[in-house]
Amino acid sequence: MTKGEIVGVISKEAGITKVAAEKALVAFIDAVTKSLKKGDSVGLVGFGTFSVSKRKARKGRNPQTGKEINIPAAKVPKFKAGKGLKDAVRR
């Protein structure tokens, strides 16, 4: 599903224009992004939790040359599905 398709579904389900639906979606994405940048997590009961995970630095291999490379430590976004979402997908 693309962003445009999501906007269409939100517009139809909420009975609002596509412009308003896109603004709401963009505002949601911005709010989650800002919260994760600060190191906070975002929990939506029944849907899931967005959080930040820290990856340690590690050694890897370049698949083309086989040469060993250093992969630096990084913060990465993580999503853990909630019970409501898991149950809905299982059905």
Angle among Cα 57, 39, 51 to the nearest 5 degrees reads 80
pTM above threshold 0.85: no
Q: Same domain for 48 and 34?
A: no
Q: Same domain for 51 and 69?
A: yes
Strands (E), 13-83: 42-44, 48-55, 58-61, 68-71, 74-81
Predicted pLDDT of residue 28: 97
Q: Would you state the structure tokens that stand for residue 71, as one six-digit string?
A: 């992969």
Average pLDDT, consecutive stretches of 10 residues, N- to C-terminus, the chain (91 residues): 96 97 97 96 96 96 94 96 95 85
Q: Same domain for 36 and 54?
A: no
Q: Same domain for 60 and 46?
A: yes
CATH of the domain at 87: 4.10.520.10
